[in-house]
Structure formats: structure tokens, C-alpha cells
Chain A
Amino acid sequence: MDSQSSVPAILISSLEKKYDNGLQALHPTDLSIQKGEIFALLGPNGAGKSTLINMVCGIVNPSGGEVKVQGYDIIKEYRQARSLIGLVPQELTTHSFETVNQIVEFSRSLFNCPKDHKYTEELLRSLTLWEKRDEKIIALSGGMKRRLLIAQALSHKPKVLFLDEPTAGVDVELRKNLWDIVLRLRDQGVTIVLTTHYIEEAEAMADRVGIINKGKIALVEDKNRLLEKFGHKKLILTLAKPLNRIPSSLQKYELEIEGEGTSLTHVYSSVEEDMNLNELLCDLSDEGIMYSDLQTKKSSLEEVFVQLVQS
């Protein structure tokens, strides 16, 4: 591995933002995002997700700290750093009277890239905007405008792409379409930083997850490890006959009766193999408790997120 490939895509050190009115939007934050990964930043509204992204992209002035994008300082070496970044903003902030093609070329030129009709065509086709290339932006639907913002962000072939809630207000089909695009970009080696309200989105795509709340990063973890660490499994038994109370011999299992006695649940850790599960089923049988159905449910990232944010 050469020295350049070992440089993180984004290295954030003690980055903070304090507004003049005293609001600390982001407390001193350290974060390292590796090349080629999809990093999802999750947090409730006003948590500081967009502030953090906008500081890296040069839209918000940091109050302190340092950010390097592939080794380039965003202040001292802003030209090199910004050339590597593409940003899809949260709001649908599009132009109105220019055509789709004009504005994608405009975005490309802003990054000092010469015209490349072939690439622009590929890009617009991949985002199903090619047919609309000569239409004025004002005539596009919300979903198309969202795709146009992505096309603009990708117009200069960035190495790091920031997607600030890219699928907010987008229908299910387009959302899935955008997920495919993001995964394809990752396969091409683009580092993606994603903020989202849809936890399923992070669950489907992210390699690592950062949870931010009240301007502080509460946790950064590999997604699968996070689910293992904080996730739980739930065994749900649909009983053949309703049960009024749990027999004393089964008290050790932390069982709960639900649905007016029609089902029995047992929550266990997903990280360790629950060796008691077999035993539990045998003990149930010994007590004459019969079940007509059995299912297990793994906790979602959303449940983990709520658990972490509330704690």
C-alpha cells in the first residue's frame, strides 16, 4: 500500500462550529473516513449533520479545527480539496430557466473541467435525465430535480461525494434507483458520506455508521458490528392455547406474555449465541406449553439508533 492510498478520504480533527448567538452546532469532533467506504451520518433534526458536511465543503466557516480531504487542507489547499468533493445539498436548490444540459456543464466548468459531452451524456443517461437534457429546469418534477442535483455533484467526477439527505421526499422507486447509483459509485472507488433520515437507507448501503446528536458524535461503528453490539434478537412463539402466567420453572428465561396470552416472547443478545434457546424450547415442552408458530426478529438499525440517541 503506497502512502497516498493510506491517506484517509476525509480526516477531521477537532472541528467545531459555534455561531455568534452562542449556539454550539458542532462540538469539537474527530472523524476519519476511509477511501471507498460509504459512511452514513445519522441523527435527529438539528443534530449537526449538515453543519459538519457544509464545513467540509466550504459552505460554512468552521470555528475551529482542521479538515483534510485526501491529505489536502480545506482552507490552505482549498482548490485541491474542493476539486475532489461533490455535494448534493439537502434542499432542492436548483436553477430555473437554464436547461438540464447547460447547468450540468456549468457545474463541471466551476470545477475547472473542460467540456466532455460523452461523460455528460453517460451521466445524464445513468440518472435517466438524458431525454430531459434540453428542458428548462423549472419544468422538471421534484424527483428529476433531485437527480439533477446528483448529476451536478458528479459532473466533475469527484472522489468524495456528500449526499445530504438525498432521498428526502423522493418516491420509493426513485429512492431504490438512487441507492443503486450510490452503490455503483462506491464500486468505482468513490467515497460517500451520506446523511439520512431513512435508517433503512443506511442499513442497506452504509459500511460504517456515525451517530450524531446535539452536535456531538455519539458513536462511530462498523454497521454490522453496531447491529451485533447493540442489536437484539426476539423469539416470538405463537401459542396453541392462551397462557395466563409464566410457570415458575420458566422464570429464569425473561419471558413475556403478549397479545392476551396468545404469544410468548423472549429477547436475547444477537452477539452471543443463546445456548439457552434449545433448553427453553425443551422446558416449554415439559411444561406442556405448545406453540403453533415460531419466529425470530432481529432489531433494525432504527431501533439501535433510537436506543443510542435516547441514552
Chain B
Amino acid sequence: MNLRGLLAIYIYEMRRAFRTVGQSIISPVISTSLYFVVFGSAIGSRMDEVGGVSYGSFIVPGLIMLSVLTQSTSNGSFSIFFPKFTGTIYEILSAPLSFLEITIGYVGASMSKSMILGIIIFITAHFFVSIELLHPFWALLFFILTCLSFSLLGFVIGIWADGFEKIQIVPMLILTPLTFLGGSFYSISMLPPFWQKVSMFNPIVYLISGFRWSFYGKADVSLSISLTVICVFICICLAIVWRMFATGYKLKA
């Protein structure tokens, strides 16, 4: 195994993130804090509890997921798209690295950045609302799996994209609506029966539900289904990445 090569990619990517700390950390933390102020403190204080949890506290897991999902996707896609764009991808492709080592290097860095962000948001949330964490192990597991799966999705998008526009299309047109409609700000049980059924086709519902359960012990769907969905999603993304490297799709001429 080329561990040094893998670590070189990881360190390079982390260094890049710290160089642009304003864009990769501060900006998402500020926007999430604004959500806490508006929905948690201002509007939330006038709303009823959701399943016995104050609205401000209820939205914390969803907001963490919202940030982590979008940042993981964005980090994952830019990390591989940039070397393709600048042409420096030749170094990676001509090095004695397997697809898995390359993927772990880039996706691992993308995950790490998202996890740092998620932890900062979690700490920040304490300044606005009171938070319980009933199942820390499960929270950590959901958190890591979510960062991994969406970093992988971003990595797939980054390989597929051949322009900046395409990098933005999937997060803007698909992920953001799915996340907002995935129960970040509400419980699925608050929806009319028809829309509850429609929501079950949104994979993000399962992630947010599982993550929220680990905080307050209340979930829209069962924990096992949430875990299965996220694991299947990771496997699909990995298979796509493997296929892309095996065929050289959008990587090699």
C-alpha cells in the first residue's frame, strides 16, 4: 500500500482548506448561526414543542446535517475537480497509487473538513439553544457515515463535471431541496399523509431522522432502515468511483 502517497494527498487537501479557512469553515458557521438565531431563538420561541423537544433544540441535528451534507459534497467535488481543471491530475494518475488510495486521500480530507465544521456548529449551537445528546456513539456514527457518503458523492460529481457549472448543478438543484424537504426544520409526522409517503423516497430523511434520534431518542423512521440506507448509498458511490477509475471516465483520455 502506498501510504505516503495517500497521506500526501490528504495533507495537501487539508492544507488547502486551512488556507481558505474563511470560505471552508467561517462562512458555513456564520450562516448556520443565523439559522439558529432566526429559527431557533426568534421564530422557535413562539412555536410549540416537537415531540416534547423545543423547536430551537429540535432543528439542531437537521441544521448540522444541512451544513455537513452541503460541505461534504462541495469539498469532495472541488478536491478532484481542481486538479483536473489545472491539469495537475497527471501527477496523481502517473503515481503508483490505486483508485482506493486516491479516493481515501481526497475523500478522507473532505470528510475531515466537514467533520471539523460539524463539530464547530455543534459547539456554536450551545450558545443559542439547550441540546441533549442521548446516544453519543450513534450520533458520531451517523455523523461520520454522512460525511463519508456525501464526500463520496461529491467526489463522483467532481470526476463527472467538466466545468464549474456542473459542479454547482447537483448541490443546488438536487441536494439543497432534498435537504430542506428532508426534515431539517420539521418532523415528517407534521406533514399530511400523502407528503409523508412522498418523503420516504427522499434518502436524506433517513439520515436526519437517524441523527436526530441519537440526540433526542425520537425518529421519523426506524434506526435500522436509516443505517441500511446510508450504507447502501456509500456502497453505490464507491462502486461508481471504482468504475470511473477503472475506465478512466473523465479522468484519462
Contact = CB atoms under 8 A, between A and B. Distances in A.
Contacts of B165: none
Contacts of B9: 110
B236 to A, nearest CB: 24
Nearest to B12: A106
Chain B, interface size: which category? 20 to 34
27 contacts: A51-B253, A57-B90, A57-B93, A58-B94, A59-B93, A59-B94, A59-B253, A60-B252, A60-B253, A61-B247, A61-B248, A61-B252, A79-B96, A80-B96, A82-B94, A82-B96, A83-B96, A85-B94, A93-B90, A106-B8, A109-B4, A110-B2, A110-B9, A110-B92, A112-B2, A112-B3, A112-B4
B252 A110 contact: no
Interface in B1-28: 2-5, 7-9, 12, 15-16, 19
Contact of A59 (B5, B15, B19, B90): B90
A152 B91 CA distance: 9
Given A61-B253, A109-B4, A87 B86 contact: no
A202 to B, nearest CB: 24
Considering the complex of A and B, which 4 residue pairs feature the smallest CB-CB distances, nearest first? A93-B87, A109-B8, A110-B95, A79-B96
A152 B87 CA distance: 14
A95 interface: yes
A110 B86 contact: no
A95 B88 contact: yes
Interface string A111-139: 11110000000000000000000000000
Interface of A: 19, 51, 54, 57-61, 78-80, 82-83, 85, 87, 89, 91, 93-98, 102, 106-107, 109-114, 152
Contact of A93 (B7, B15, B88): B88
Given A58-B93, A82-B95, A110-B2, 17 more contacts: A59-B90, A61-B247, A61-B253, A78-B96, A80-B96, A85-B94, A89-B87, A93-B90, A109-B4, A109-B8, A110-B4, A110-B8, A110-B9, A112-B3, A113-B4, A114-B4, A152-B91
A104 B143 CA distance: 35
Interface string B60-77: 000000000000000000
B96 A112 contact: yes
B24 to A, nearest CB: 14
Contacts of A95: 86, 88
Contacts of B93: 57-59
Interface string B120-158: 000000000000000000000000000000000000000
B97 interface: yes
A114 B5 CA distance: 10
Most buried by B among A51, A94, A111: A111
B3 to A, nearest CB: 7
B5 A112 contact: yes
Nearest to A91: B87
B251 to A, nearest CB: 9
B23 to A, nearest CB: 13
A94 B90 CA distance: 10
Given A54-B253, A57-B94, A59-B94, A111 B5 contact: yes
B223 to A, nearest CB: 41
Nearest to A84: B96
B91 A110 contact: yes
Interface in B209-240: none
Contacts of B8: 106, 109-110
Most buried by B among A59, A97, A98, A113: A59
A3 to B, nearest CB: 24
Contacts of A114: 4
A148 to B, nearest CB: 12
Contacts of B16: 97
A93 B86 CA distance: 6
A78 B5 CA distance: 15
A172 B208 CA distance: 63
Given A82-B94, A85-B94, A97 B19 contact: yes
B28 to A, nearest CB: 21
A87 to B, nearest CB: 5
Contacts of A152: 91
Contacts of B15: 98, 102
